[in-house]
Every structure is written in C-alpha cells, then in structure tokens.
Amino acid sequence: MDTRSIVVYKFGGTSVATPERIINVAKRLMAAKARGEKVVVVVSAMGDSTNKLIELANQVSNQPDSREYDALVSTGENISAALLAMALIDRNCPALSLNGAQAGIRTTDIYSRAKIMDIDCSRIQSELDAGKVVVVTGFQGVTPHDDITTIGRGGSDTSAVALAAALKAKTCHICTDVDGVYTTDPRMVPNARKLPIISYDEMLELASLGAKVLHPRSVEFGKQHQIELVVRSSFSDDPGTLVKEISEMEEGLRPVTGVTVDLNQARIAILKVPDRPGVAGTLFGHLSKNAVNVDMIIQSIEHDEINSITFTVHKNDLEIGKKVSEEFAKEVGAQGVVFEDNIAKLSIVGVGMISKPGVAATMFKALGEHNINLKHIATSEIKISCVIDQTKAAEAVRVLHDAFELEKETV
Amino acid sequence: MDTRSIVVYKFGGTSVATPERIINVAKRLMAAKARGEKVVVVVSAMGDSTNKLIELANQVSNQPDSREYDALVSTGENISAALLAMALIDRNCPALSLNGAQAGIRTTDIYSRAKIMDIDCSRIQSELDAGKVVVVTGFQGVTPHDDITTIGRGGSDTSAVALAAALKAKTCHICTDVDGVYTTDPRMVPNARKLPIISYDEMLELASLGAKVLHPRSVEFGKQHQIELVVRSSFSDDPGTLVKEISEMEEGLRPVTGVTVDLNQARIAILKVPDRPGVAGTLFGHLSKNAVNVDMIIQSIEHDEINSITFTVHKNDLEIGKKVSEEFAKEVGAQGVVFEDNIAKLSIVGVGMISKPGVAATMFKALGEHNINLKHIATSEIKISCVIDQTKAAEAVRVLHDAFELEKETV
C-alpha cells in the first residue's frame, strides 16, 4: 500500500467560519482527491464559535471544571467536521467525519493542554482505502479512559501534523487566512516578502516570537517527524511557504530570514539582589510554580558586586510576576522591584547567521543609527532579540528589514 | 449494592434553554442528592439549538448525509450535558458528563431513528459509586462501530427510561415545561384537572394522540420494564403525574381519564374500490413503502357492493398520501380520491371503559346534542376516537370533559 500519497490538510476557524466557506473547502478537497491524493483533513471550530461556548461555561460556573470544559469546547470541531463531510458527500465525494475518539487520537489526561501520545490510524486508514475523504476534528483527543481532552489553543495545527506523522504522510498543508510566511509583518513593512521556503528552526523562532501563522508545537512535531509543512491560503491556489529541513548549502544563502516584533511583553527587574548561591533558582522556581512563563533573562553584576535580575514575561503575567518578585525581594533582602510594560521585543531570525559573523553588529549598528536604544539583549544560535521602547517598534522593524535587504530574493 | 436508590431525571430543552435554567436544574439535582438519591440525569439540547444545527446542515448540503447529520445534531446534547456538570461541580457537587459512547448506549445503525439495543452501565455505575451526579446526553448513542447515532425527536425521554431500566432504577422523573398530565389541554378547558396517576396504556394513547408531554416510545419502554414515570415541572416542586401499571381495583374507578384532540390529521377517501381480495393490502403496502403513517382506517361496504376505503394521515403526509392513493385508484380502477384537511381527531381514553358499558353511547349522545357531526369512528380497548369538523374541536373537547365530569376528583 502506497501510504506516500496520503496528504493531510488543515483548515482553521476563519476558513470554515460560514456554510459558504465550508463549501469552498469541500471543493478544494475534491480537487485534491481528483489529483490522486488520499485526503485527510483536520478542521477547527467555525469562526468564533469556541468563544461562545467559553462564554456559556463562564455563565454557569465561576471556575469551569477542566474535564467538562474540554467536553464542551470540543463540540465546536464536531460541528465543523460533520458539516464539511456533509458538504463533500452532497457533492458526490465519499467522505466521513471522525471525532478525536473515533480517529484514535490518544492523549494524556491533562485537560485543556493534553499531549497527543499516539494515534491508532486503523479506522482512518480503512476509510481512506475505501476511497473516502476523512475529516478529523482538530484540537481534541481522548484519554485512555475515553474522556475527551483538548490540546490547547492553536491545537488543530498540531493535530494535523501529528496525523500526518502517524499516517506517514510526506506533506501537511496548513490552510489559513494568510498566504504564507513573510520576512516580517506586511502591515508594518509594505515591501515584506513572502518566503518560498523556511527551515523548521526558523519557523519555530518566528512562531514563538509572535508570527501567528503556525503553532510552535506543530512545527516541533513536523521537525521531529520530518513532515513538510506548507503554509498557504484557504482561499487561493498560491503555493504558500514550504517549511522543511534545510540543507547546509541552502542555509548558507542568507544570514537573516525574518524580522519579528512582540508587543505583548513586559519587563521586570529586581534590584540589588544579594549574591547568594541558588538565589536565582529560588526566584524562577517561585515564578514557575505560579505558572509565569519567563522569557529573556539577564543577571548582571553591578559595581558593588550585587546582582540585579531582569527578565521579560507576557503582559498577561505581569501582575502575578510582580507579586511573586516583590515577595521574593522581601524574602532575600533585595532593594526593590521595578517594571516596564511599554516595551517591544524585536528579533531577527535566520539559520544562516551561525556561519556569518557580524550579524549582531549589523543589527545593533542599524538600530543605533536611528537612535533606537537597546534595553536588553538575548541571543540563540539562530536568533538575536533585543528589548526596545514600544513607540520605536514599527520603525525598528523597517530599519532591520532594510538593513538585511529582506525584500530582495537573494542577497 | 443498593441499586434501588438510583433515580433517573430527564430535563428537556426548555428546562436547560439558558445558563440560568441550567443552574436551576443543578440546584434541583443537588437537593435530590441531599435526599440520599444516586442521581443520573439525562438532558436534551438547549432550547432551539438543534434547529440551528439543522439549518447549518441545510446550508451546506441539499440532502444532508444521515451519518453526518447525527454526528452534527448530537452536539447539542454534548453542550448542555457539559454545562450542567460544570454548574454542579462549581457548586461543590461532584459530577461528570458522559456522551452516548461514554455512557455505553449501544444502538442499531439506522441513523436519525436508531433503536437502543443495550446499555453497558459500568462507567455510570462506578461514577455513581464514587458519589458523583452522572449527566448523560439524551437522544444519542453509538453503533457497534462507534459511529454516533440519534434515536429520533423526543428521544431524550426514551434515553432516560432506557437508562432507568438498565440501572434497575425504580423511578424516572421526566421534568418538563408542564406540571403533569391533564384530563385535557388546560388552554382549551379551563377546569381541566391534573391527574395524580395514570396507567402506561392510557398515557400511551394520550401521548400518541398529541398530548406532547411524553414520547410514546419512552412510555412503552417504561411499561415493558415497569419503571414508574413521573411527569413534572422543571420549575416547581409540584409532585406531577405518576405513570405506572394500575391494578384492576384502581382501574375500576373511572371509565374515562382524559379527552384529547389532534388537529394535524387529514382524511383521504378512495371511492368505489372494486372488491377484489388483497386490494386493501396493496394500498397500504404502497403507503407504507412511501413512509406514510396511516391512522384510522375504515373500509365500508356501499349499497352497490363496492367498497370505499377511508383513512387518516398526518397533515405532513397528505400530499404524498394523495399521490399514492391516486395512483392506486387508477391501478385498480376505483372511481376517484377525495380528501379533507380541516378535520379534528377527538378521542377519549380510559382503562376503565373496558368494564363500563355505555361509554361510547355517552360520548356520541353528548356530541349529538351539540350538533357535532361524526365523520369517522375508530375504537380500541381503552380509547374511542372520532373525526369531526375542525371548527368544532374546542367545543367538542369541552362537551366531553363535562359529560364525563373529568374536573371532579372521583366520579
């Protein structure tokens, strides 16, 4: 059996928001089937229907029970999947919908952010062999005790890539409301260029940094199982952006692939922390226990040999982050806590920067020439991030896009 | 283990139409649990949510596929069940929701009108033993291949009674938007009396005849498994009406229990049908093949020894019924087909009429005294029905209610 011809498609909430759009998706899938593909399609809930369900949950309970919450919000995907299967069958294309349980998607039992453990593809496989388009609900699975779980927001991307891996599909098409991955946000930089190809690692950095086209977990999964991801429009036949492992030769082409900015960060600094062993461990332990995700961390040695510890968190976590930090400051006898939320985290990403020295220098020089002050710097192998004043964010993105000539096909 | 303390409740769509009403249901169930009951509750979809799903189905397809249709419309019950469980848990009452598959409700694979084959209660039982209120989605089940089915409109009543039978519960409370079963429609006859008790057979006749409080299949199921049904209000503590097997002694009390009228019937007559053996069988075979449910049948011998065949059907079936009848008339050489849709089917029901002669005479005399003409008469052991002019329907109900003194506690 040639499992290589299985292709997985994922359509997000915007793409199935109305009956007309569902019919449009059905037609695209019928074209794929006519091309000889064995089609598996993963759908999200229609438009904002999940939010309406969450509203209901909050109206009947102060703290919705997590098991019931998942049973509730997963119904959105059941609806869109059944409607899409109906639309296909009505147009003489054999199809059926499968929910998480029926599709054999087994997860851990951590509700609302379950992890997919394995997928028993026997039902999907036999329906494909019978010539059907198989429509699978995204975002959901079941525990070993058959309780319904959801795998977190943006989870339908992950469902699709996990299914592609389990079915040994070569490619997973993520069809969405943008037509690909750009060098930066085209609303900020009009000459931003759509990338024909990008590596998993770059996509991962871009996804984590706020380019909302692909959920980071789905990219990790794709990389791990070497599934090629295609990010493309639900509404056109444009080829989109291919996300795959890029060879060293290809890597050499360009040091920087994209520029990204995150306006939802805040910065907390704890001043004059006594320099005792394990003191940083205590702080970040407290933050973690309170579910505060910490991003860029700097621990600086001041002239009087006492540290200040600075880090960034998501704005939503600022209040709890401040509270934990202030308690910690009291506990260890630090001088105090200051914070700032009018910041932007600006990053350049590119697998090519590993082998090209001077990328950081180019970045800092370009920003400096435009009087954009750097408050905080952090780097990884394929990314350089810095914190700047939020009012300078749009300008800074344009400056870097120009400095690295990202609008051009090749450097 | 004392299974006798298990009590099953069913709440219909009106009773869970809003978050406030769901909270109200939660409070009633908590009171039941506080009384020491092991509570299983079956819920319908919220208000008119099922109709909204059907609308969506019709927008994506001309002829919705039956498997997908069931997968779609069953989501309404998943939503209300999860919300009710949430409301309970949020008020410190341990609870969980189970969909048809999780509750072990196995059905045939005839979509949209599946029959419950058996219920594997092990999950429900263990959750009850753990002290939880178990909320089960009404109206749905799964085939032996785990495909989702629905058991037809009004099916939540049947789900509830079937669960009561499987759990060996003694009583099933059907909580609805009326506070019990009345001697007739109180909107027609202001002194209609709520019946404290009624037999399965009477309830069955009343349910089939248009008293919309209980689905006939659920009454049959209750009778078969000797589950006491209590029809009561979702919004008050009124004891409602008890539906159970009534002993002969009790039966003797009153010849007539209720009067009912059905305004949704139409009457078709095929004139001068040649009197050949099997000719009626041919007609009703054709009607059945076209899914036309036939009710009161009369085959009369006219003076010239040629039959006319007259029957009633639901108004929705009138067009197809006429078409089939006209084809039949041509086929066998009958004179023609006439029909009438401004009729009412008026019935009196009572197990006591078996042993009380003269009930029919009282009925016909009372109607005759008010110049209400009888077009058609049919009788069973516990029911007498006649077809009258629709304009006389309300008057006829009042006349019979008075004639049998149904407003009085005992005769």
Among A52, A43, A40, residue whose Cα is nearest residue A15: A43
**Among B60, B72, B86, beta carbon nearest to A60:** B86
Cα B158 to its chain centre, rounded Å, is: 9
Residue A310 pairs in a beta bridge with A269, A298
**Among A22, A67, A68, beta carbon nearest to B60:** A22
> B236 lies in a domain?
no
Q: Which residues of A touch B26 (CB under 8 A)?
A: 60
Q: Touching check for A93 and chain B: CB below 8 Å?
A: no
Residue pairs spanning A and B at CB distance below 8 A: 116
In Å, how far is A115's CA from the nearest CA of chain B? 21
Q: Is residue A78 within 8 Å of A46, Cβ to Cβ?
A: no
CB contact under 8 A, B68 and A86: yes
Regarding whether A143 and A9 lie in a shared domain, the answer is yes
In Å, how far is A89's CA from the nearest CA of chain B? 7
Among B316, B338, B360, which residue terminates a domain?
A: B338
CB contact under 8 A, B96 and A62: no
Amino acid of residue B348: I
Q: Touching check for A83 and chain B: CB below 8 Å?
A: yes
**Among B62, B83, B101, beta carbon nearest to A60:** B83
Regarding whether A357 and A235 lie in a shared domain, the answer is no
In Å, how far is A83's CA from the nearest CA of chain B? 6
**pLDDT tens for chain B, residues 1 to 411:** 455 489 999 999 999 999 999 999 999 999 999 999 999 999 999 999 999 999 999 999 999 999 999 999 999 999 999 999 999 999 999 999 999 999 999 999 999 989 999 999 999 999 999 999 999 999 999 999 999 999 976 689 999 999 999 999 999 999 998 889 999 988 889 999 999 999 998 898 887 666 677 888 889 889 999 999 999 999 988 899 999 998 755 555 678 999 999 899 999 999 888 877 788 888 999 998 888 888 888 877 666 556 788 899 999 999 999 999 999 999 998 999 999 999 999 999 988 887 777 888 899 999 999 999 988 888 888 889 999 999 999 999 999 999 999 998 764
Q: Say if residue A260's pLDDT is above 70.
A: yes
Kindly report, residue by residue over A200-227, the tens digit of the pLDDT. Answer: 988 988 876 656 778 888 898 899 999 9
Q: What are phi and psi of B192, to 5 degrees?
A: -60, 145
The reported pTM is 0.84
> A115 lies in a domain?
yes
CB contact under 8 A, B56 and A79: yes
Q: Say if residue A302's pLDDT is above 70.
A: no
pLDDT of residue B411: 44
Q: Say if residue A279's pLDDT is above 90.
A: no
For an interface test with A, the pick among B43, B83, B122, B123 (most A C-beta atoms closer than 10 Å) comes out as: B83
DSSP A137-192: ESSEEE-TT--EEE--TTHHHHHHHHHHHHTT-SEEEEEESSSS-BSS-TTT-TT-
CB contact under 8 A, B90 and A64: yes
Neighbouring residues of B387: CB distance < 8 A, sequence distance ≥ 6: B265, B267, B296, B312, B343, B344, B345, B346, B374, B375, B376, B377
Distances (CA, A) of A301 to A277, A318, A328, A385: 14, 24, 19, 21
Q: Which residues of A touch B57 (CB under 8 A)?
A: 83, 86
CB contact under 8 A, B75 and A72: no
Regarding whether A313 and A296 lie in a shared domain, the answer is yes
Q: Which residues of A touch B79 (CB under 8 A)?
A: 53, 56, 72, 75
Q: Touching check for A86 and chain B: CB below 8 Å?
A: yes
If one counts the domains in chain A, the total is 3
Q: Which residue has the tokens 């032996």?
A: B144
> B244 lies in a domain?
no
Among A140, A29, A135, residue whose Cα is nearest residue A83: A135
Among A339, A361, A391, which residue terminates a domain?
A: A339
When computed from its CA atoms, the radius of gyration of chain B, rounded to whole angstroms, is 23
| Chain B residues 6-65 within an 8 A CB cutoff of chain A | 19, 22-23, 26, 53, 56-57, 59-65
Label residues A119-150 b or e (16+ Cβ within 10 Å = b).
bebebbbebbeeebbbbbbbbbbbbeeebbbb
Q: Is residue B232 within 8 Å of B243, Cβ to Cβ?
A: no
pLDDT of residue B254: 76
CB contact under 8 A, B60 and A147: no
Dihedral sign of CA atoms A13, A17, A22, A24 in order:
negative
Confidence of residue A411 (pLDDT cuts 50, 70, 90): very low
Regarding whether B368 and B299 lie in a shared domain, the answer is no
Q: Which residue has the tokens 């084959």?
A: B117
Half-sphere exposure for A391 (CA within 13 Å, toward CB)? 2
Regarding whether B22 and B135 lie in a shared domain, the answer is yes
**Among B65, B84, B147, beta carbon nearest to A86:** B65
CB contact under 8 A, B71 and A63: no
Regarding whether B298 and B157 lie in a shared domain, the answer is no
Regarding whether B297 and B171 lie in a shared domain, the answer is no
Q: Which residue has the tokens 């964010």?
A: A393
Q: Is residue B139 within 8 Å of B155, Cβ to Cβ?
A: yes
DSSP B220-275: HHHHHHT-EEEEEESSS----EEEE---HHHHTT-S--EEEEE-SEEEEEEEEE--
Residue B75: closest C-alpha in chain A? A75
In Å, how far is B265's CA from the nearest CA of chain A? 33
Confidence of residue A305 (pLDDT cuts 50, 70, 90): low
> CA A138, CA A107: separation in Å to the nearest integer?
13
In terms of DSSP bridges, do strands A133-137 and A95-98 run parallel, antiparallel, or are they unpaired? parallel
Q: Say if residue A4's pLDDT is above 60.
A: no
Cα B70 to its chain centre, rounded Å, is: 21
Regarding whether B357 and B313 lie in a shared domain, the answer is no
The DSSP letter of residue B182 is B
| Chain A residues 255-274 within an 8 A CB cutoff of chain B | none
> CA A230, CA A175: separation in Å to the nearest integer?
8
Distances (CA, A) of A48 to A68, A123, B371: 19, 30, 61
Interface confidence, given as ipTM, is 0.82
Give the per-residue SS3 of A130-152.
CCCEEEEECCEEECCCCCEEECC
Regarding whether B366 and B279 lie in a shared domain, the answer is no
Q: Which residues of A touch B146 (CB under 8 A)?
A: 101-102
In Å, how far is A43's CA from the nearest CA of chain B? 14
Regarding whether B382 and B276 lie in a shared domain, the answer is no
Q: What are phi and psi of A348, to 5 degrees?
A: -115, 145
Give me the CATH number covering residue B301. Answer: 3.30.2130.10
Q: How far apart are the first and last CA of chain A?
A: 44
CB contact under 8 A, B146 and A102: yes
Among A243, A335, A257, A320, residue whose Cα is nearest residue A289: A320
Q: What is the mean pLDDT of chain A?
A: 90
> CA A76, CA A66: separation in Å to the nearest integer?
16
CB contact under 8 A, A60 and B22: yes
Half-sphere exposure for B55 (CA within 13 Å, toward CB)? 6
What are A25's two structure tokens?
Answer: 């998706």
Q: Is residue A111 within 8 Å of A149, Cβ to Cβ?
A: yes
CB contact under 8 A, A56 and B89: no
**What is chain A's percent helix, strand, coil content, to nearest 5?**
40, 25, 35
Residue B54: closest C-alpha in chain A? A83
> A45 lies in a domain?
yes
Q: Which residues of B touch A89 (CB under 8 A)?
A: 61, 65, 68
Q: Touching check for A96 and chain B: CB below 8 Å?
A: yes
> CA B29, CA B27: separation in Å to the nearest integer?
5
Q: Touching check for B78 and chain A: CB below 8 Å?
A: yes
> A411 lies in a domain?
no
Kindly report, residue by residue over A309-349, the tens digit of the pLDDT. Answer: 889 999 999 999 999 999 999 999 899 999 999 999 999 99
Q: Touching check for B253 and chain A: CB below 8 Å?
A: no
Cα B284 to its chain centre, rounded Å, is: 24
Among A264, A266, A250, residue whose Cα is nearest residue A201: A250
**Among A23, A71, A102, beta carbon nearest to B82:** A71
Among A317, A339, A361, which residue terminates a domain?
A: A339
Confidence of residue A308 (pLDDT cuts 50, 70, 90): confident
> CA A26, CA A80: separation in Å to the nearest integer?
12
Q: Say if residue A247's pLDDT is above 80.
A: no
Give me the CATH number covering residue B121. Answer: 3.40.1160.10
pLDDT of residue B307: 76
Q: Which residues of A touch B69 (CB under 8 A)?
A: 82, 86
Give me the CATH number covering residue B369. Answer: 3.30.70.260
Regarding whether B334 and B359 lie in a shared domain, the answer is no
> CA A134, CA A119: separation in Å to the nearest integer?
15
Higher-pLDDT residue of A308, A121: A121
CB contact under 8 A, A83 and B68: yes
**Among A60, A69, A86, beta carbon nearest to B61:** A86
pLDDT of residue B253: 62
**Among B62, B72, B147, beta carbon nearest to A83:** B72
CB contact under 8 A, A57 and B146: no
pLDDT of residue B347: 93
> B198 lies in a domain?
no
**Residue ranges making up the domain that contains B70:** 3-177
> CA B93, CA B87: separation in Å to the nearest integer?
9
**Among A59, A82, A101, beta carbon nearest to B101:** A101
In Å, how far is B327's CA from the nearest CA of chain A? 31
CB contact under 8 A, A78 and B75: yes
> A251 lies in a domain?
no
> A252 lies in a domain?
no
Q: Is B64 exposed, middle or buried (0-12, 13-18, 19+ CB in 10 A)?
A: buried
Regarding whether A317 and A188 lie in a shared domain, the answer is no
